[in-house]
Amino acid sequence: MQNKVENKLNKPPVLILLLIASFITLYINPGLQDPFNSPKMWILMLGGAWVSGYLFNFKFKLNQNMFIQENLLKILLIIFLSFYFIAALFTDIKFVAFFGDSGRRLGFITYLFLAIFMYVSFKISSLEFIRQLKIVSISISILLVIYGILQRVGLDFIDWANPYNSIITTFGNPNFASAGMAMFAVICFGIVLDSSSKLVVRALAAVLVINLIILIVASDSRQGILAFAAGASILIYTFLKTKHSNLAKIWMGTFLLVGVGSALGMLQIGPLQNLLYKPSISIRGYYWRAALEMLKSNIWVGIGVDRYGESFKKFREVGYPLNYGFEITSSNAHSIPLQIFSTGGIFTGTAYLALVLFIFKRGISNLKNNSVFLVIPFAAWISYLAQSIISIENIGLAIWGWILGGLIVGISNIQNDSEKNWDQKRFSSGYHKKLYQPIISGLLTLLMIFVVSQLYSSEKNVINSRQVFDPRSVNQRQEFYIFANKAISSNFTDAYYKLQVTELLNMTDRKDIALTNLLTLNKQDPKNLDFLRPLALIYESRGEIKEAIRVREKIIPEDPWNCDNFLRLGILYKAIGNEQKTLEMLKTIKQVAPEHPITKNAENELANNS
């Protein structure tokens, strides 16, 4: 009886880990300025704080291979986090470095807690972990299918201001949604092929796979299809290997051939280009090349953690603004490895790649086991990895990629003949629940509660100020001023959100306060175009031409191909009678965009009659 109680007490917190991850994926809050990324990051922080306490509970008697793998994983995670932390310290805007840019939330804190989840996942990896993963994945898939169908048929219970395809589920846009559904579809497909699962469970999983694939196709996002194909191919290979090894080799060879052809087709090369190419691939080329230029500009620590958006216009090629618009920008490299390299530097990026390659190698070793059950985590992780090459990190998806990574390393020593006894051997002397674990977890969680409450309050003040904004109503105007002041004065308010509130202030009778706030934002982040451009517009509206010229001249080195800025500068130079500068702007526009309609407009505005 005592042994049973002790075993129950010392049971690893697998379900807790999976439930936290599920909550991160599924939770959204439409009452926030950012209803997707911010709440997911906050739950990651709170859940990660609690999970951190489990780091003090482990005392395994590991075999030699497991001991080596644990130390390698630990070393790789520490190196990655150390270099990323150094990059964060060198980042000019510390709030962004640690909490991430608005709309992304991919700062150091996010990756710190993702790494903690990975390591804890490794420490409690077991066959039971995979069993729980299957159950949780089916549950999440059911919810995603239901919500995806509601969005598809126009019955979404939330009225999103959504410019994309309607299928965004709980991830925020169709690309993230398709990638997330692909990963869970891979897990469900693994359950279908897994003979150890009950027939009714396999049937339910098959229905979910079909529905998830239908929704992925309906989302019009090809990355979901490719991510599912990558993961499913691993499962099919393992399944065939248990039946006929030669057939499995043929399958894998065929898949690799089709995979290479598909990759070339996406790049407009080969016979599959008409089927697979999308204009968004060409756009990504601009993002990727800009990321490489950012890395070259500061190879050691990058251009700043999650500061890609503030540097994109400086490093983009001239073809981008000419094809897509002078004011169109990007806040991310649309490739997780390139994003980390460009914003964290060569050492951070290399450490990340080393971590990925280590997990991949351990996953490949799992393929030696003729067990679909054991390969499910690796197949799902491959799905995550495939989309990460051409997509942005999304916290709701990333949490699974990092948890699966730890699980893959942890189970990579299981052999078929020892599966039944593996859990018992691994945990017989392993996980011991200590009294100080809940104390440490509780203290860390309390600290995160304070930080998250400040972040929540500041973001809520921003959305409240926007909701009550009505410059025609005296009563609502006063209420707006209260919320606006709280949002702008808080150190936990994202600078871009402060800008949004400031622009509303500029539409009231407090234009001088708006200008003061904008000058403060510009002083804190002097090269940020988000602040320079509205500052120039405010000066222009006030008739302060020389100040507007001064600001627009500062825009040039940060946005060297922006002909719209050159045109506005030319008009300002013309207004003060500076003919030489006016003609210089016209000449620059002709050189940058000789065939663009803006050149004809510039000739009408600046030539001859200047």
- For the stretch 274-283, pLDDT in tens is 555 555 577 8
C-beta atoms surrounding 551 within 10 Å:
22
Which segment of 94-108, 186-200, 257-271, 443-457 scores lowest on mean pLDDT?
257-271
Reply yes or no on whether the pLDDT at 254 is more than 80: no
Reply yes or no on whether the pLDDT at 104 is more than 70: yes
Task: Provide the pLDDT for residue 7.
Answer: 47
Reply yes or no on whether the pLDDT at 66 is more than 60: yes
Reply yes or no on whether the pLDDT at 255 is more than 70: no
What is the DSSP code (8-state) at residue 345? Answer: H
The answer to whether 390 touches 284, Cβ cutoff 8 Å, is yes
15-28 pLDDT tens trace: 999 999 999 999 99
Query: What is the C-alpha to C-alpha distance for residues 380 and 187, in angstroms, rounded to an integer?
Result: 6
Mean pLDDT within 542-566? 96
Q: Which residue has the tokens 């599920």?
A: 22
Query: What is the C-alpha to C-alpha distance for residues 170 and 35, in angstroms, rounded to an integer?
Result: 9
Helix ranges restricted to H, 428-528: 436-468, 474-489, 495-505, 511-524
Residue 58 main-chain phi, psi, to 5 deg = -95, 135
- At 118, the amino acid letter reads M
Task: Provide the pLDDT for residue 62.
Answer: 56
Please choose, from the candidates 76, 86, 44, the residue with its C-alpha nearest in 3D space to the C-alpha of residue 343: 86
The answer to whether 454 touches 492, Cβ cutoff 8 Å, is yes
- At 45, the amino acid letter reads M
- At 148, the amino acid letter reads G
Task: Provide the pLDDT for residue 437.
Answer: 82
How far from each other are the two terminal CA atoms of the chain, in whole angstroms? 95
- At 29, the amino acid letter reads N
8 — pLDDT class (breaks 50, 70, 90): very low
Query: What is the C-alpha to C-alpha distance for residues 22 and 514, in angstroms, rounded to an integer?
Result: 41
The answer to whether 553 touches 537, Cβ cutoff 8 Å, is no
Reply yes or no on whether the pLDDT at 55 is more than 90: no
Residue 431 main-chain phi, psi, to 5 deg = -80, 120
The two structure tokens encoding residue 276: 């697979």
Full-model pTM: 0.93
**The CA-based dihedral angle spanning residues 501, 504, 509, 513, taken in that order and rounded to the nearest 10 degrees:** 30
Query: What is the C-alpha to C-alpha distance for residues 124 and 17, in angstroms, rounded to an integer?
Result: 10
Give residues with Cβ within 8 angstroms of 283, minimum separation 6: 324
Which DSSP string do the residues of 218-237 spell out, in sequence order?
HTT-HHHHHHHHHHHHHHHH
Give residues with Cβ within 8 angstroms of 408, minimum separation 6: 359, 362, 363, 366, 377, 378, 381
Reply yes or no on whether the pLDDT at 324 is more than 90: yes
The two structure tokens encoding residue 116: 């903690």
Percent of the chain with pLDDT over 90: 74
Task: Provide the pLDDT for residue 243.
Answer: 72
Buried b (16+ CB within 10 A) or exposed e, 458-475: bbbbbbbbbebbeeeeee
272 — pLDDT class (breaks 50, 70, 90): low
265 — pLDDT class (breaks 50, 70, 90): low
Task: Provide the pLDDT for residue 433.
Answer: 59
C-alpha distances in Å from residue 397, one per residue of 116, 230, 343, 401, 531: 16, 16, 21, 7, 31
C-alpha distances in Å from residue 14, one per residue of 59, 204, 258, 332, 589: 16, 23, 37, 33, 60
C-alpha distances in Å from residue 234, one per residue of 186, 238, 262, 437, 501: 10, 6, 17, 38, 50
Question: Any bridge partners for residue 431, and if so which?
Answer: 58
| Rg over CA atoms, the chain | 27
Please choose, from the candidates 52, 27, 54, the residue with its C-alpha nearest in 3D space to the C-alpha of residue 42: 27
Reply yes or no on whether the pLDDT at 231 is more than 70: yes
Task: Provide the pLDDT for residue 385.
Answer: 96
Please choose, from the candidates 385, 390, 358, the residue with its C-alpha nearest in 3D space to the C-alpha of residue 186: 385
CATH fold of 464-606, please?
Answer: 1.25.40
Reply yes or no on whether the pLDDT at 65 is more than 70: no
C-alpha distances in Å from residue 588, one per residue of 135, 400, 582: 62, 49, 10
Reply yes or no on whether the pLDDT at 81 is more than 50: yes
Element (H, E) at 545: helix 545-558
423-455 pLDDT tens trace: 655 554 445 556 678 888 999 999 999 999 999
Q: Which residue has the higher pLDDT, 382 or 254?
A: 382
Mean pLDDT within 192-214? 96
Mean pLDDT within 217-233? 92
Q: Where are the domains of the chain?
A: 2-439, 464-606
334-354 pLDDT tens trace: 999 999 999 999 999 999 999
Mean pLDDT within 403-417? 83
The two structure tokens encoding residue 521: 């934002």
The two structure tokens encoding residue 560: 């060297």
Please choose, from the candidates 190, 158, 167, 187, the residue with its C-alpha nearest in 3D space to the C-alpha of residue 21: 187
The answer to whether 339 touches 393, Cβ cutoff 8 Å, is yes
483-526 pLDDT tens trace: 999 999 999 999 999 999 999 999 988 899 999 999 999 999 99
Helix ranges restricted to H, 267-394: 273-276, 279-297, 308-315, 319-324, 336-366, 372-388
Please choose, from the candidates 208, 201, 182, 197, the residue with its C-alpha nearest in 3D space to the C-alpha of residue 239: 197
34-50 pLDDT tens trace: 999 999 999 999 999 99
The two structure tokens encoding residue 244: 């006929």
Query: What is the C-alpha to C-alpha distance for residues 177 and 335, in angstroms, rounded to an integer?
Result: 16
61 — pLDDT class (breaks 50, 70, 90): low
Give residues with Cβ within 8 angstroms of 199, minimum separation 6: none
Interhelix angle 395-411/14-26, nearest 10 degrees: 160
Q: Which residue has the higher pLDDT, 164 or 315?
A: 315
C-alpha distances in Å from residue 405, one per residue of 384, 387, 394: 10, 15, 16
The two structure tokens encoding residue 397: 């998806």
Task: Provide the pLDDT for residue 94.
Answer: 97
Calculate the average pLDDT of the chain. 89
Task: Provide the pLDDT for residue 129.
Answer: 95
**The CA-based dihedral angle spanning residues 100, 101, 103, 105, taken in that order and rounded to the nearest 10 degrees:** -10
Percent of the chain with pLDDT over 70: 88
Task: Provide the pLDDT for residue 3.
Answer: 46
Task: Provide the pLDDT for residue 9.
Answer: 41
Question: Any bridge partners for residue 58, and if so which?
Answer: 431
What is the DSSP code (8-state) at residue 414? Answer: -
Give residues with Cβ within 8 angstroms of 595, minimum separation 6: none
C-alpha distances in Å from residue 144, one per residue of 115, 177, 213, 383: 26, 9, 12, 17
Task: Provide the pLDDT for residue 287.
Answer: 96
Query: What is the C-alpha to C-alpha distance for residues 580 and 578, in angstroms, rounded to an integer?
Result: 6
Task: Provide the pLDDT for residue 269.
Answer: 54
The answer to whether 493 touches 461, Cβ cutoff 8 Å, is yes
C-beta atoms surrounding 604 within 10 Å:
10
